C-alpha cells in the first residue's frame, strides 16, 4: 500500500479508534502508523482534543452528588409520607366515618308517631354494621343516611324528634310517606319518576319495570297523550297497571293510549283510576294505594282455568287463546302444556281456542264456550285427540 493510501485509511479510522470501536489488530496498525507519521499524529491529537469533555473539579462533583442525594431523599420521604397520610385517612374513613350503606343491604323499618321518627333494622352485608347516621331535613322531608363500618353492630336504632315531617327517606330510598310505610318495590319505582317524555330510555324503563311488556315497544307523545304501540294483545289489568305508573310518575302525561295495529284498544286517564293520581309524583303513598287497589280489583276479576291433556304425542308448541266478540283478549303459548292458569277477565261470554303443533303441523280446536259470571269463575277443560284432531271440552268447574 502506498503512503497516501495509508494516510487516508488511518485518518478514516481515527474517529472509531478514538471512540474505542476498532479491533485490537486494527488498533496496532493505527498506533504503528501514528508513531512514524507526524501528519496523521497531528490529525489524531486534534480529533482527540475536540472529542474530550472537560472534567469538572472533583469537589464540585462531590457537592452536586450530595445535592442530588438529598433531593431524592426528600422526594422519597414526601412520597412515603403522602402514602401514609392517605392510608391513615382511608382507615379513619372506613373504620371511623364509614361509607353509606347500599339500600339493598338494609332491612329497615321506619315509623313516624307523634313527631318522633324511628329508624331501626339490620345491615345484611356480611362483616359490616352500622356505625352512625346523618340526618338532613328539607322542609317537611327528612332524609337519613346510615354509614357502614367493618365489624360494627349489624342492628341499628335511631330516633329523630321533630314535628311536621311528612316524608322519610333512608339512603336514597323513600321509606315512609303521608302516614304509610312504602314498600321497596314502590320506592324503586318512585326513584324512576321523570318530568317529561323526552328521555326514551327512562320512559321505557317505567313501562317495562316488573312487567311482561316487550322492551322494544314504541311510543309517541303529543298534547299530553302518551300513545304506546304494542305488537300483541295484553290483559286489561296489565295495561291498567302500566298506565297508572306512567300517569303517576311522568309529570306531563295526562292520558295513556294503547295501540294494537291501527286500533286503540285501551285508553286510561287519571280520572279513570283516582282523582289524585297526578299528586303521586310528589307522594309515593298515593301510587302505592292506587296500585294496591288495582291489585285487589284484578284479584276479584281473576278466572281460573285448569287444563288436563290427553294427546297421542308430546306437542312441540301449545297456544291458548280467548276471544270475545271476535277480538283476542288473551293469548299464552309455550313448549310445555299449561296446567292451572289464572287470567284477569271481566264477566261475560268468551270462546276458548287451543292450537297444538305436532310433527310440524298446527292443529286447532273448535272454539269452546266460556261463560264467566260472579259465581262461576273456575273451569276445568280436557284437551284430547281423536283421529288426529284436537278437541277441547269443559269437564268441570
Question: Each residue of 28-65: pLDDT tens digit?
Answer: 888 888 888 888 888 888 877 765 544 445 555 455 55
CB 246 within 8 A of CB 225: no
> What residues of the chain score a pLDDT lower than 70?
1-2, 50-74, 77, 80-81, 83-96, 210-212, 214-216, 296-301, 336, 397
C-alpha dihedral (309, 310, 314, 320), degrees to nearest 10: -40
- Give the count of alpha carbons within 13 A of 279, CB side only: 12
Q: What string of DSSP letters covers 61-96? A: HHHHHHHHHHHHHHHHHHHHHHHHHHHHHHHIIIII
Chain CA centroid to CA 166, Å: 30
At residue 190, what are phi and psi to the nearest 5 degrees?
Answer: -65, -35
The residue assigned the cell 314504541 is 218
Residues 6 or more apart in contact with residue 133 via CB below 8 angstroms: 119, 144, 145, 146, 147, 156, 158
Helix, strand or coil, per DSSP, at residue 115 = coil
Q: What was the pLDDT predicted at 45?
A: 84
Which ranges of the chain does DSSP label H, i.e. alpha helix? Answer: 3-18, 24-36, 38-51, 58-91, 184-190, 200-208, 236-249, 270-273, 284-300
Chain CA centroid to CA 125, Å: 20
Q: What was the pLDDT predicted at 168?
A: 97
User: What is the per-residue burial (b if ≥16 Cβ within 10 Å, else e) of 65-99?
Assistant: eeeeeeeeeeeeeeeeeeeeeeeeeeeeeeeeebe
Query: For the range 122-129, what are the long-range contacts, defined as Cβ-Cβ under 8 Å and sequence gap of 24 or more?
Result: 122/154, 122/155, 122/156, 123/148, 123/154, 123/156, 124/154, 125/101, 127/151, 128/101, 128/152, 128/154, 129/153, 129/154, 129/155, 129/156
pTM above 0.85, yes or no: no
At residue 113, what are phi and psi to the nearest 5 degrees?
Answer: -130, 125
Helix 284-300 to helix 236-249 angle, to the nearest 10 degrees? 170
How buried is 309 (Cβ within 10 angstroms: 0-12 exposed, 13-18 middle, 19+ buried)?
middle
Summarised one tens digit per residue, pLDDT across range 225-237 is 999 998 887 777 7
Residues 6 or more apart in contact with residue 204 via CB below 8 angstroms: 215, 217, 219
Give the DSSP letter of residue 347: S
- Write out the E strands in 98-232: 99-100, 106-113, 116-123, 128-138, 141-150, 155-161, 167-170, 173-177, 180-181, 218-222, 225-230
Amino acid at each position: 500500500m502506498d503512503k497516501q493510501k495509508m494516510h487516508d485509511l488511518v485518518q478514516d479510522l481515527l474517529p472509531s479508534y478514538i471512540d474505542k470501536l476498532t479491533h485490537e489488530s486494527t488498533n496496532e496498525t493505527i498506533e504503528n502508523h501514528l508513531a512514524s507519521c507526524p501528519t496523521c499524529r497531528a490529525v489524531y491529537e486534534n480529533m482527540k482534543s475536540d472529542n474530550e469533555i472537560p472534567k469538572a473539579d472533583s469537589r464540585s462533583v462531590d457537592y452536586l452528588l450530595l445535592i442530588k442525594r438529598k433531593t431524592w431523599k426528600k422526594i422519597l420521604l414526601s412520597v412515603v409520607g403522602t402514602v401514609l397520610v392517605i392510608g391513615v385517612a382511608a382507615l379513619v374513613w372506613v373504620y371511623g366515618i364509614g361509607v353509606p350503606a347500599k339500600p339493598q343491604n338494609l332491612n329497615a323499618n321506619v315509623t313516624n308517631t307523634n313527631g318522633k321518627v324511628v329508624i331501626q333494622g339490620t345491615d345484611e352485608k356480611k362483616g359490616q354494621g352500622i356505625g352512625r347516621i346523618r340526618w338532613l331535613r328539607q322542609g317537611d322531608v327528612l332524609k337519613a343516611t346510615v354509614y357502614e363500618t367493618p365489624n360494627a353492630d349489624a342492628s341499628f336504632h335511631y330516633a329523630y324528634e321533630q314535628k311536621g315531617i311528612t316524608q322519610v327517606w333512608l339512603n336514597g330510598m323513600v321509606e315512609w310517606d303521608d302516614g304509610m310505610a312504602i314498600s321497596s318495590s314502590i320506592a324503586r319505582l318512585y326513584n324512576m319518576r321523570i318530568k317529561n317524555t323526552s328521555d326514551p330510555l327512562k320512559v321505557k324503563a317505567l313501562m317495562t319495570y316488573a312487567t311482561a311488556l316487550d322492551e322494544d315497544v314504541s311510543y309517541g307523545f303529543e298534547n299530553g297523550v302518551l300513545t304506546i304501540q304494542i305488537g300483541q294483545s295484553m290483559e286489561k289489568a296489565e295495561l291498567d297497571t302500566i298506565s297508572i305508573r306512567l300517569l303517576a310518575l311522568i309529570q306531563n302525561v295526562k292520558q295513556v293510549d294503547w295501540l294494537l295495529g291501527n286500533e286503540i284498544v285501551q285508553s286510561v286517564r287519571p280520572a279513570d283510576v283516582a282523582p289524585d293520581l297526578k299528586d303521586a309524583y310528589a307522594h309515593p303513598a298515593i301510587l302505592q294505594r292506587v296500585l294496591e287497589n288495582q291489585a285487589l280489583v284484578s284479584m276479584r276479576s281473576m278466572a281460573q282455568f285448569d287444563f288436563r291433556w290427553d294427546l297421542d304425542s308430546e306437542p312441540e308448541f301449545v297456544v291458548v287463546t280467548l276471544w270475545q266478540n271476535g277480538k283476542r283478549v288473551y293469548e299464552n303459548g309455550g313448549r310445555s302444556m299449561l296446567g292451572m292458569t289464572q287470567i284477569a277477565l271481566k264477566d261475560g261470554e268468551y270462546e276458548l281456542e287451543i292450537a297444538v303443533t305436532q310433527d310440524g303441523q298446527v292443529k286447532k280446536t273448535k272454539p269452546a264456550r266460556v261463560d264467566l259470571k260472579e259465581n262461576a269463575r273456575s273451569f276445568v277443560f280436557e284437551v284430547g285427540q281423536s283421529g288426529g284432531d284436537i278437541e277441547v271440552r269443559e269437564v268441570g268447574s
